[in-house]
């Protein structure tokens, strides 16, 4: 008799050990696991045919190509669509008419019949594709994916079109362009203000300072080109960080977590048991999220602003109105890098522009800023100086985090640990040993696939439980 395990056994707190692929996103598997069989004909009822008849062999092959059964090629057609669908019944009627009209009468006409069969099959595919909706690029018309019980489409009863994953995901995120773009659940005004400041500084600098450098300074064209490149990196990185899936984790992966057998001593509510995972030579404890109903992977956290568990969550940034997680941290870091370099370039060139106006053209400072280009350079200089200090401070802070391979949340927890427990903070199990390896691991890692796949077509599994697993046995067997 095998030994029995209790709730306090070695698999819980002291820890469940899931496989490494549990925390590694992969491309969604759309392969059919189970296909219902329709109009299955018994092989014993097929009459014997003369194998030397070329007419029968040719018609049988093309009847199978058209979806017809072998034993009755002229009258029966395998149903590829729902019987209640008027469009499919119409197609079946048209195919039956075509079969009766173009039946080959002799072996000499079999080649013409074959060409007609191929052309009719192509017309049938075009007609069927015309009855599909805009999701045909995701689910090809007539594909087995549409009839698989393991991947049944979820249809919206109001629009009669398939749901997309973002329409069924309960969170505070806002999705756009059929789920390809998203924003966080916070107020968007901070992001709008920040993006407006970026556009204002770039507009002033390109409208006033850059034309003077382009026409009056020898290396001015190179300065303008470098500034244009940095501005493009800042704008694209900011938009990408703000509209990208940061690593939203799927929900309902563990709807029935294990609970301890005894109630807490303080009379509180029982909490699901944690899991202990081994990371290199250390052990990391992960907790259960009651909102998402799943065990969070290491370095993940639940964002209250977006109401999601984020993989590799660093923090929620209100200035981009999105969480900074594993999938968009690299673009966020390069946003700070390009922003800092752009501000340094704008501050330097704007101040130098005003100095050259006073030096070359014999103006004083008041006359220099009284000109339109001088006033624009002065405004860009003042705005850049005001924005530079918080951006540079945040960039230097994240440089330290990258070199140590820790997140903002982990840094805050380490500071809290130092105030509560004397002594050094616990070692970081995710560090690669050197700052070079840590920087390569954080900044050069691939983005990876989205766990949520917001723009994908939503499916559900309608397969019933195997009766053999419920103790009822398999029908028809002893």
Cβ proximity of 189 and 320 under 8 Å = no
303: three-class secondary structure by DSSP: strand
| Cβ-based neighbours of 396, under 8 Å, separated by 6 or more | none
- C-alpha closest to that of 331 among 249, 240, 422: 240
As a whole number of angstroms, the distance between CA 284 and CA 46 comes to 64
CA distances from 393 to 66, 163, 373, 412 (A): 68, 44, 30, 17
CA distances from 1 to 8, 9, 469, 471 (A): 20, 18, 21, 20
Of 194, 317, 323, 444, the catalytic one is 317
**Angle, alpha carbons 382-388-392 (nearest 5°):** 170
- C-alpha closest to that of 23 among 234, 286, 266, 211: 286
As a whole number of angstroms, the distance between CA 377 and CA 268 comes to 63
Cβ proximity of 136 and 23 under 8 Å = no
SS3 for 44-75 is: HHCCCCCCCCHHHHHHHHHHHHCCECCCCCCC
Q: Is 317 a catalytic residue?
A: yes
As a whole number of angstroms, the distance between CA 298 and CA 279 comes to 9
- Side-chain half-sphere of 213: how many Cα atoms within 13 Å? 26
Instruction: Calculate the CA 132 to chain-centre distance.
Output: 25
- C-alpha closest to that of 208 among 358, 368, 343, 339: 368
Known catalytic residues are: 317
């Amino acid at each position: 008799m095998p030994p029995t395990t209790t709730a306090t056994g070695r698999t819980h707190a002291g820890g469940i050990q899931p496989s490494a692929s549990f925390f590694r996103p992969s491309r969604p598997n759309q392969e059919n696991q189970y296909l219902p069989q329709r109009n299955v004909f018994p092989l014993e009822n097929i009459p014997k045919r003369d194998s030397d008849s070329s007419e029968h062999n040719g018609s049988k092959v093309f009847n199978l190509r058209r979806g017809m059964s072998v034993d009755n090629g002229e009258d029966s057609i395998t149903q590829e669509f729902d019987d209640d669908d008027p469009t499919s019944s119409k197609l079946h009627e048209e195919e039956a008419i075509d079969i009766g009209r173009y039946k080959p009468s002799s072996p000499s006409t079999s080649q013409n019949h074959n060409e007609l069969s191929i052309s009719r099959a192509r017309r049938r595919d075009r007609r069927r594709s015309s009855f599909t909706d805009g999701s045909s690029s995701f689910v090809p018309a007539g594909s087995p994916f549409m009839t698989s019980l393991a991947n049944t489409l979820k249809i919206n009863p109001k629009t009669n079109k398939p749901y997309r994953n973002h329409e069924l995901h309960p969170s505070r995120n806002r999705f756009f362009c059929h789920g390809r773009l998203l924003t966080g659940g916070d107020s968007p005004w901070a992001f709008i203000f920040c993006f407006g400041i970026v556009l204002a500084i770039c507009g002033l600098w390109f409208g006033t300072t850059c034309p003077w450098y382009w026409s009056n300074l020898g290396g001015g064209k190179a300065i303008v080109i470098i500034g244009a490149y940095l501005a493009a990196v800042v704008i694209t990185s900011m938009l990408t960080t703000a509209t990208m899936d940061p690593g939203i984790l799927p929900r309902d992966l563990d709807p029935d977590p294990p609970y301890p057998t005894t109630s807490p001593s303080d009379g509180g509510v029982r909490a699901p048991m944690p899991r202990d995972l081994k990371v290199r030579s250390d052990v990391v404890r992960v907790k259960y999220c009651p909102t998402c109903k799943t065990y969070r992977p290491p370095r993940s956290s639940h964002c209250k602003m977006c109401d999601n568990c984020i993989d590799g969550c660093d923090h929620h940034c209100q200035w981009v109105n999105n969480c900074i997680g594993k999938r968009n941290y690299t673009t966020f870091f390069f946003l700070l890098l390009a922003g800092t370099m752009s501000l340094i370039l704008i501050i330097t060139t704007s101040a130098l522009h005003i100095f050259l106006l006073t030096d070359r053209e014999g103006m004083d400072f008041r006359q220099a800023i009284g000109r339109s280009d001088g006033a624009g350079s002065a405004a860009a200089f003042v705005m850049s100086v005001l924005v530079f200090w918080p951006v540079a401070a945040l960039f230097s802070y994240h440089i330290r985090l990258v070199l140590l391979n820790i997140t903002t949340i982990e840094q805050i927890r380490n500071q809290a640990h130092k105030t509560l427990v004397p002594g050094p903070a616990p070692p970081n199990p995710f560090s690669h040993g050197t700052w070079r390896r840590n920087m390569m691991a954080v900044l050069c890692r691939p983005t990876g696939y989205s766990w949520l796949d917001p723009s994908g077509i939503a499916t559900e599994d309608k397969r019933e439980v195997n009766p053999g697993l419920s103790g009822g046995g398999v029908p028809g067997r002893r």
